[in-house]
Structure 1
Amino acid sequence: MPRVECEFCQRHIAAGMVAGRPRKGRLWQHDPTERPELFGDALVSCAGSLAIVDVPGSGAQMELVEVDEQADEALVGPLGTMALF
């Protein structure tokens, strides 16, 4: 998953994709950096947790690449199958 800087704690947090919204992601829930000093043992999340943010590089259109005919023939296996990756 791509990592995006949280606007509250300035840490890089993983952002999962949001369905139906290309180039948008939801930050994973995370603890604030000053949690032990301010909150003790209480479970407190950063104010930026679960925020919807712009995700760089996602939602881009895939590009078609020219394939050499001879190289393509080498990928065909003995049963007529072809390697996908």
Structure 2
Amino acid sequence: MKMPRVECATCRRKIAAGIVAGAPTKGRLWRHDPNERSSEFGDVLVSCTGSLEIVDLPRPGEQLALDLVLDDDQLETPPQGIDTIALF
């Protein structure tokens, strides 16, 4: 699943945001390192203070559109039966 990218308020980087359960307009930023991590902290892993923050998503709750274009002859002919037996 492709997640929208939202700008982190702390470091101004575009970070993926996963949808929060029960709130399709909100997302939680993924954990990420600050821009100056290597110069300030060396090899120590340090998360940006904006990590895991809840933000507004840019396109809330959009339904996926499917392109199901059928020819006229496909609409008139009924579907063929299946020659298999259900197991359950």
Please state which band the TM-score falls in when normalised by the shorter chain: 0.7 to 0.9
Output aligned runs, 1:36-51, within 5 Å.
36-51=38-53
TM-score (normalizing by structure 2): 0.71
**2:21 and 2:60 mapped to 1: Cα distance?**
13
Which 4+ stretches in 1 moved above 2 angstroms? 60-63, 67-72, 76-80
% of aligned pairs identical? Answer: 57
Q: Give the AA of the match of 2:12.
A: Q
Provide structure 2 residue ranges, at least 5 long, that are not aligned to the other structure. 83-88
Give the greater-gyration-radius structure (CA).
2
**2:34 and 2:73 mapped to 1: Cα distance?**
52
Deviation (angstroms), 1:61: 5.7
Taking only aligned residues, the RMSD between alpha carbons, in angstroms, comes to 2.8
How many residue pairs get aligned? The number is 77
TM-score (normalizing by structure 1): 0.73
**1:32 and 1:4 mapped to 2: Cα distance?**
15
